[in-house]
Structure formats: structure tokens, C-alpha cells
Amino acid sequence: MSRFVHFIEQLQSYAPQLCMEGDGPSYTYAELLEEIESWQARFDELSIAPGSVVGLRADYSLSAVAALLALFARRAIVALIPRDRGAVHYLVDARAAALLELNVEGSYRWRSVPHPTRHPLLNRLSTASEGGVVIFTSGSTGRPKAALQSLERFLYKFRRPGRRLRTLAFLLFDHVGGLDTLLYTLASGGTLIFTRQRDPGSILELIESHRVEVLPTSPSFLRLLCVAGDHREHDLSSLKIITYGSEPMDPTTLARVNARFPNAQISQKYGTTETGSPRSVSRSNDSLWIKIKNDGVETKVVDDVLWIRSEGTILGYLNAPSPVDEQGWYCTGDLVDVDGEWIRFRGRAGDTINVGGEKVAPTEVEQSILELDFVRDAVVSGEPHALMGQIVAARVALTTAALDPKKAVERIRMHCRERLAPYKVPVRVDIVAEGFANDRQKAQRKRASD
């Protein structure tokens, strides 16, 4: 039996239970299964054959989830297209032959696109009679990569149900973490809570009104949540688990999250577009050390960089050379410290700043700046320098506009000088009005002008 067939059988066993809810109607698993059948009939009319590559552009809704699962049932390859950007380049890079766009009310638009040249990896899936999914990287280091995953391999970690919980669909529909949240919740018979707004106030209101039990998010968003102040005005007693990932967490923010939510389990998760999200466990609520559970996942550390090999690793990119070596290992590019079976992330190898031959990890400088109670957010990067090669530059958002920017810069530099080696102290500090999180609630190191 294929893993997807087993997945559908799991959904059938939950038929009368609540599956999804949000601002509008609530739906049971039985209603989701009916909607999947409706999409199957539409795809019959559109002659969607196994191996077809279909772009899907949507936010969470009953119709969007059903369309996704119906395409998987046909062994199609679904390319998840970001909603906030133009679709043309994504469709070309995914080798898609059609685009399905849905709005949250359930209406949709279907259009064919010029028939693309097939990629050998797509033919590999077709030969194996498997469905697949294409997820795009964020593009922080260039053009987004079209990462192709076998559906059967991706479903490996969902073969056993987890805890049945009410989970907020915070991470985006086209994000690997969002897909992981969706499939985990459905495989476990839980309830997915939809949201259209992802600002702190709206999220706090939703946690209270829908009795959300799980909040999967990022350190950048948790930083905003901690300084928002609105948490005291809401009943957040339902919240059992807060998970964070996609970027390094700083100790100051982690301590604040623990103080704000003393009754919740605070857990770090790790994953990439290329590896999915392997199961992991935090050493404790207030610890930055995690252990990746050995559930078909192998890890190794080479020159302080984490490598992963697992069944969840992608087959390759459709628009770039494969990042997976001949032995199946993927270099994550994440710098880590190691303590036995525990690892701690300290940033990306590609973000390292070279100051006159001395290496600086931006996250170390950011963590020092974030210790200051008047700092809301901070990102650090390297800037070219004729003599030193690079210098350390920081952009900082303050918690209040009342603080004089010049005094803030003086206090930031003084604080850094007390905690860091001289070459790590920011030479340039810019005070900015807005934070640095993108639509995926992940801090952007590069300026828009870069």
C-alpha cells in the first residue's frame, strides 16, 4: 500500500471529527473527503494525468487543501507557487503545464501555460508512478530554487499519527513548514485553524477565540509577540505548545517567550526546503540545544557545518544543479556546535563576515544587541571595506520612538564593546522604523538595495 493511500485511509477514519475552522464555517474530515472527490471530478474534465505538473497558488481553505490532496491522489506533481510574487518564473522553473489559483472563498481560475520541456527528475517520478511536490526556496541567495520531492518520501514521517491538537496554520501554504504542519495535523486527526492576518494582535485574538493549542512560528515573530504587550489582554490558557524554527533563536527572546507563556512547551524545530522537517526534540524549554531523532535521518558535522541524509531529502532542483551528493548527503550550510547527540545552531556559513581575516558570526552580534531592553529587532551583516575587506553593520529597530537614535547607537556600541571582541563590534549602526521579517516571518539580512 502506498503511503498516500494510507494517509487517505487515516482521514477516512476521522470522518465525523472537526478538521478545519477559522473566520468562516467549520468543516469535518467527511466534508474534506467530499471536497476531494469534487476536485477529482474537475480534474477528470481537465484531463489531468499522472505525472502532470500543476502550479497551485492558494492560501489555506477547505478547497485549497482538497485540491492539493486530489492532485496528489492522481499522482500529479504539485508546484506550490508563492501568492505574493509573480507566477511566471515559478511556473517556468517548475516545468508546470498549468496553474490553478484559488481564493479563500473557494472560487478558482485554471489556465494552461506553454508546454515545458520535461526534466529527467520529473520523468523519474512518472516512471515510479509517484506523485510529487515542488517547493521553492526563499531566494535569499539568488533566484529561488525549485526543489522536487517525491510525495511518498515526504510522507515517511507521517506514517504514524501524532497528538490530536488544535493547530494554527501560521506558516504559509507554499512553505515547507506550512506543508509539514498541514500534513501532520491531518494525519493525526487534529484541527487546523486558518488565519488571514499574521500580526501579533490578530494571532493573540485567534488563540483566545479558537482555543488554539499549537503555535508553529519563527523567532522573528515571537520577538514581535513579546514586545506587543497585548498578551495580557487575552486568555491564552489553551496554548500547550509553541514551536519555532527557520532561523536561529537568541537567548534573550527565548527567555522572554518562556516568561510570557510559562505553561506552554517551547520547542525548537529544524527543517529546510531540501530536507523537510525531521522530528526533533529540545533539551528543555529554555535551551537552544536540540536533538534530531533517528527516525530514518542521519546527520554529520563537517567543519562545523551540518549535513543530513534521509528519506525526506529532495530528489534535486529543477532549475539548478542538485545539492545532494552521490551518497545522498545534503550540506545544509548551517553552522552548529556539538555536544554529544545535541546540536546548537549559530548561523549560516554563507553569512559569516570576514573582518581583516577574523570571522564574525552575525547571530552572535545580534544576540548581544537583542539583550538591550529598548531593542525590538536587529539584523547584522557584512559591508565591503577597502582596508578590512568587510566591516560589521547592524540595522536596529527600537521598542519606542521616544528614545533618541543617537543615544541608542551609543548604548548599542557600548554594550557590544563590553561583550564582544573589538573586531565584532558594529562599525555602522542604522536605526530603522520597521522590523526585518519577510512574509515568511523570517529575518532578511540583505537590504532591498543589495
Q: For residue 233, is it within any domain?
A: no
Which residue range is the domain that position 422 belongs to?
352-432
- d(C-alpha 188, C-alpha 229), whole Å: 33
Residue 143's pLDDT is what?
A: 84
Q: Is 60 exceeded by the pLDDT of residue 448?
A: no
Across the range 346-352, mean pLDDT stands at 88
- d(C-alpha 93, C-alpha 80), whole Å: 12
Q: For residue 183, is it within any domain?
A: no
Beta bridge partners of 242: 215, 266
Give me the CATH number covering residue 360: 3.30.300.30
Q: From 155, 181, 200, give the residue that closes a domain.
A: 155
Q: For residue 201, is it within any domain?
A: no
Band the pLDDT of 439: cuts 50, 70, 90.
low
Residue 285's pLDDT is what?
A: 94
Band the pLDDT of 344: cuts 50, 70, 90.
very high
- Find, among 72, 76, 283, 101, the residue nearest to 182 by Cα: 72
Q: For residue 230, is it within any domain?
A: no
Residue 231's pLDDT is what?
A: 59
Residue 271's pLDDT is what?
A: 87
25 exposure class (CB count in 10 Å sphere: 0-12, 13-18, 19+): exposed
pLDDT in tens, 89-105: 899 999 999 999 998 77
Q: For residue 198, is it within any domain?
A: no
Share of the chain above pLDDT 70, in %: 94
Beta bridge partners of 309: 298
CA geometry: angle 272, 276, 282, nearest 5 deg: 80
Q: From 155, 175, 197, give the residue that closes a domain.
A: 155
Residue 449's pLDDT is what?
A: 42
Domain count, the chain: 2
Question: Which of 62-71, 168-177, 238-247, 393-402 comes out lowest in average pLDDT?
Answer: 393-402
Residue 446's pLDDT is what?
A: 59
DSSP-derived 3-state class of residue 36 = helix
Cell 496554520 found at? 169
Residue 215's pLDDT is what?
A: 97
DSSP-derived 3-state class of residue 274 = coil
Q: For residue 82, is it within any domain?
A: yes
Give me the CATH number covering residue 145: 3.40.50.980
Number of helical H runs and strand E runs in the chain: 12, 25
- Find, among 344, 334, 336, 239, the residue nearest to 283 by Cα: 344
Share of the chain above pLDDT 90, in %: 72
Residue 366's pLDDT is what?
A: 93
**DSSP letter string over 247-267?**
SPPPHHHHHHHHHH-TTSEEE
pLDDT in tens, 279-299: 889 999 999 999 987 677 899
pLDDT in tens, 415-434: 999 999 999 999 999 999 87
Q: Which residues, including other chains, have CB under 8 Å from residue 410's CB and lie 6 or more apart?
A: none
pLDDT mean across residues, the chain: 90
Task: Give me 167's grid cell.
Answer: 493547530
What is the distance of C-alpha 237 from the center of its chain? Answer: 25
Residue 105's pLDDT is what?
A: 74
Q: For residue 161, is it within any domain?
A: no
Q: For residue 254, is it within any domain?
A: no
Question: 3-13 and 29-45 helices cross at what angle (nearest 10)?
Answer: 130
Band the pLDDT of 386: cuts 50, 70, 90.
confident
Q: Is 80 exceeded by the pLDDT of residue 447?
A: no
pLDDT in tens, 105-143: 778 999 998 877 899 999 999 999 999 999 999 766 678
Q: Is 60 exceeded by the pLDDT of residue 327?
A: yes
Q: From 89, 122, 155, give the residue that closes a domain.
A: 155
Residue 27's pLDDT is what?
A: 97
DSSP-derived 3-state class of residue 128 = coil
